[in-house]
Amino acid sequence: MKIMRFFMFCLLFFIGQATGSEYKLGAGDQIQITVYGEEDLTNQIKIDKSGVISFPFLSDITVIGLSTKNLASKIANGLRGDYLIDPQVTVSIVMYRPFFIHGQVKRPGGYPFQEDLTLDKAIAIAGGLAARASKSSWNITRLVDGKKAVFDANVSSAILPDDIIEIEQSFF
């Protein structure tokens, strides 16, 4: 019982860390990098599977696992000195990588992630539950520290990018 509580605590902690301002960039995210006063350095980039982006005047940058603030700081530090005196860099997310929902929903598939997404909102985005959907047998598969974790979910469960939601069929 203690192990299960500890696991749930760790899972909730992970969810809290992965949402909001601590969102970690991953393959499939589309970002915009803006350097104030330097229009030629403004770029919109989709992060590919390699997780590496190219930016003018800098070597390739590995961005997977960085927050937008970490990436902005890394770019500003790289430009400081040789290219600009005090670069003001912002990184914003133009489009999040998708989450996926399958099983007993009206329109299964992949959908763009939205901030503060919960399972009930994800079901609504997928057109609602199908007629034979279970009202309680819902699972979320998520990568945690590079390993797949599957856990039971309810309507208030937080959904993250790359999550795979499965809505089971009801037998009654």
What residue ranges of the chain are covered by domains with CATH 3.10.560.10?
98-169
Structure tokens at 121: 């909102």
Class of the CATH domain delimited by 98-169: alpha beta
Class of the CATH domain delimited by 25-95: alpha beta
What residue ranges of the chain are covered by domains with CATH 3.30.1950.10?
25-95
pLDDT at 143: 86
Please give the model's pTM, rounded to 2 decimal places: 0.74
Name the stretches of the chain with pLDDT < 70: 1-21, 172
